[in-house]
Amino acid sequence: MSPIHILLIEDNDGDILLTTEALQNGKITNKISVVKDGEKAIDFVNKTGGYADTESPDLILLDINLPRRSGQEVLQYIKTNGNLKHIPVIMLTTSSSEKDINQSYNNYANCYITKPVEVDDFIDAISKIEDFWISIVKLPSKK
């Protein structure tokens, strides 16, 4: 198992801290990049707007409720772009709304996870994401 590059698209500082700490304490040392709004997320994956030298992510963790562009808009952009649609996108959000879940899968999210409220449960969920998406799943090679 080699390290992968994870892009976390999240605007809540507490969730950023918990997620990055859980991933850094995992089995594999992964590269983690963070952007806090939908516009920056699109710049990041396109390598524009100050992100020209960034490495393309292997996996994206995406919140729905973001400033400037929603997570749904970012997801739809990624999954309709021929150069990006191969990147797995995990919706990681507080919303458990059927509408949000259905819209995410209609926009080709690879999975949808509602963030647990309790800190230990949140960290456990991130660990399970890492176990599955990094240790078990074979990710596509970078284009």
SS (H, E, C) 63-121: CCCCCCCCHHHHHHHHHCCCCCCCCCEEEEECCCCHHHHHHHHHCCCCEEEECCCCHHH
pLDDT band (50, 70, 90) for residue 13:
very high
pLDDT band at 87; cut points 50, 70, 90: very high
Q: Give the C-alpha separation, 89 to 92, whole Å.
A: 9
> Is residue 67 within 8 Å of residue 37, measured between CB atoms?
yes
Closest to 61 measured CA to CA, from 41, 90, 101, 23: 90
pTM of the full structure: 0.89
Average pLDDT of 35-59? 94
3-class SS at 50? coil
If pLDDT is split at 50, 70 and 90, which confidence band does 28 have? low
pLDDT band at 25 (very low <50, low <70, confident <90, very high): confident
Q: Is the confidence at residue 104, as pLDDT, over 70?
A: yes
Please provide the average confidence, as pLDDT, over all residues in the chain.
88
Contact partners, residue 10, CB within 8 Å, separation at least 6: 16, 19, 34, 36, 61, 63, 66, 92
Say yes or no to pLDDT of 31 above 70.
yes
pLDDT at 9 over 90: yes
Tell me what the mean pLDDT of segment 81-96 comes to: 92
Domains of the chain: 5-136 (3.40.50.2300)
**What residue type is 72 in one-letter code?**
Q
